[in-house]
Amino acid sequence: MSTSTVTPPRAWLMLALGVAAQAAGTLLVSTPAYLIPFLHAERGMSLAQAGLLAAAPTFGMVVTLVFWGVLTDRYGERWIIAGGLALTAAFAFAALAADSDLALGILLVLGGGASASTNAASGRVVIGWFPKHRRGLAMGIRQMSQPLGVAAAALIVPPLAVSSGPTAPFAVAGTVTVVLAVLCAWGIRNPPRPAASRGRAEASANPYRSSRFLLRIHAASALLVVPQFTLSTFGLVWLVAAMGWNATAAGIVVAVSQLVGAVGRIVAGHLSDRLGTRVGLLRAVAAAGVLAMVLLAAAAWLHADVFAAALFVAAATIAVADNGLAYTSVAEAAGPFWSGRALGIQNTGQFLAASAVGPLVGALITLVGYPFAFAIVGATPLAALLMTPRHDRSDGAESGDASVLSADAGPGHGAAVVPRG
């Protein structure tokens, strides 16, 4: 495609709403992880038990991601995002009245399942509204949503749980998601799609049958999720329980790591645009992840506070840098008629791996301690490096090409096709 393709001004509004929507959902999904110190110390839960509760929203996402992707392919992004956020808010408010750990866990599964609507749908908004030479940067910005949501949870949940009880943070999550539901219903417009004549041919072309590219990206991404969720789930409790930090200071370090990681995703996306490759940079991130986890394990073993905190921020930043690269690569390879389902499958694999991190890594930490657990987790980005393809793949449909795109925005959306400039 021509690098002169114009990015429509409306695309940046779609991007901003997509970021805010997924950050709101992530706030709810991340909240249980930052209740682990409270549940572990005050209620006597084991790390494996608390990790299982923390994994409940992620399990809900695993079950519903492909479903939301299919709905998005069929009905468009606007109402899938807004409706999913409204459901998320309902389950968050219901969690305030949970009278047992089982009831809370069930509501967290349902809330996580509802929040999954923003994952595939907001990614499609970015891919649909931005031309290829801006997608890496745009998707990197969009991928800020997860670390922003995690950072908000790290700052809000620990002190609020201590002062007002473990269910109080869900009131915040419910309020934020209901506000974003209204904003997204007002502001999001479905992007243009390929014209119907081209669409009929492409709709029948399953990208999974033509090569193993998508399957390899899915597998590598699932492996790269393990260090990411290990650090986001157990980073706070490691700093508090093993390193002797207070909860507020530890929360600040975790929040900083997420904010730096958010910037790192933008840098990685922009760099992939400049280099003209997603998977080449993805391989470099995987290699860096191996080194980061090994160094963090050494710092934890030596109980070196300053180095441990710095390496935690570095490792957490590297651990999230791959997400936007893989996400963009999957969407480009799948094409406009399969991207919702492909992104749903992509996220399903990631969150299936993430669901296992809480109980399994919690049990591993109990068995061998944090340093050895971090070192063992470092093997997963090495496996991802071996799995990642060496060359990119694209279906050839580019955003902004007036010859193949038509406004598929739904009644009253008024989405415009932007011609080559």
Listed in sequence order, the residues at least 6 apart from 243 whose beta carbon sits closer than 8 Å to its beta carbon are: 250, 300, 303, 305, 308
Q: Where are the domains of the chain?
A: 9-198+205-395
- Residue appearing with tokens 């209740």: 35
Q: Is 394 exposed, middle or buried (0-12, 13-18, 19+ CB in 10 A)?
A: middle
What gap in Å lies between CA 268 and CA 309, rounded to an integer? Answer: 23
In this predicted structure, what is the pLDDT of residue 193?
A: 63
- Residue appearing with tokens 């449909």: 397
State the first-to-last Cα distance of the chain, in angstroms, to the nearest integer. Answer: 12
- Residue appearing with tokens 């997608």: 135
Q: List the chain residues with pLDDT less than 70.
A: 1-5, 41, 120, 192-204, 394-421
Q: Which of 254, 265, 319, 326 is nearest to 292 (CA)?
A: 319
In this predicted structure, what is the pLDDT of residue 200?
A: 52
Which 8-state DSSP code applies to residue 419?
Answer: P
In this predicted structure, what is the pLDDT of residue 127?
A: 75
Listed in sequence order, the residues at least 6 apart from 285 whose beta carbon sits closer than 8 Å to its beta carbon are: 224, 268, 318, 321, 322, 325
Report the DSSP beta bridge partners of residue 405: 194
In this predicted structure, what is the pLDDT of residue 195?
A: 54
β-strands 405-406, 193-194 pairing: antiparallel
In this predicted structure, what is the pLDDT of residue 394?
A: 66
In this predicted structure, what is the pLDDT of residue 88?
A: 96
In this predicted structure, what is the pLDDT of residue 357?
A: 86
pTM of the model: 0.70
Listed in sequence order, the residues at least 6 apart from 414 whose beta carbon sits closer than 8 Å to its beta carbon are: 189, 407
The CATH homologous superfamily of the domain defined by 9-198+205-395: MFS general substrate transporter like domains (1.20.1250.20)
In this predicted structure, what is the pLDDT of residue 411?
A: 30
What gap in Å lies between CA 376 and CA 378, rounded to an integer? Answer: 5
In this predicted structure, what is the pLDDT of residue 220?
A: 95
In this predicted structure, what is the pLDDT of residue 143?
A: 76
In this predicted structure, what is the pLDDT of residue 178?
A: 95
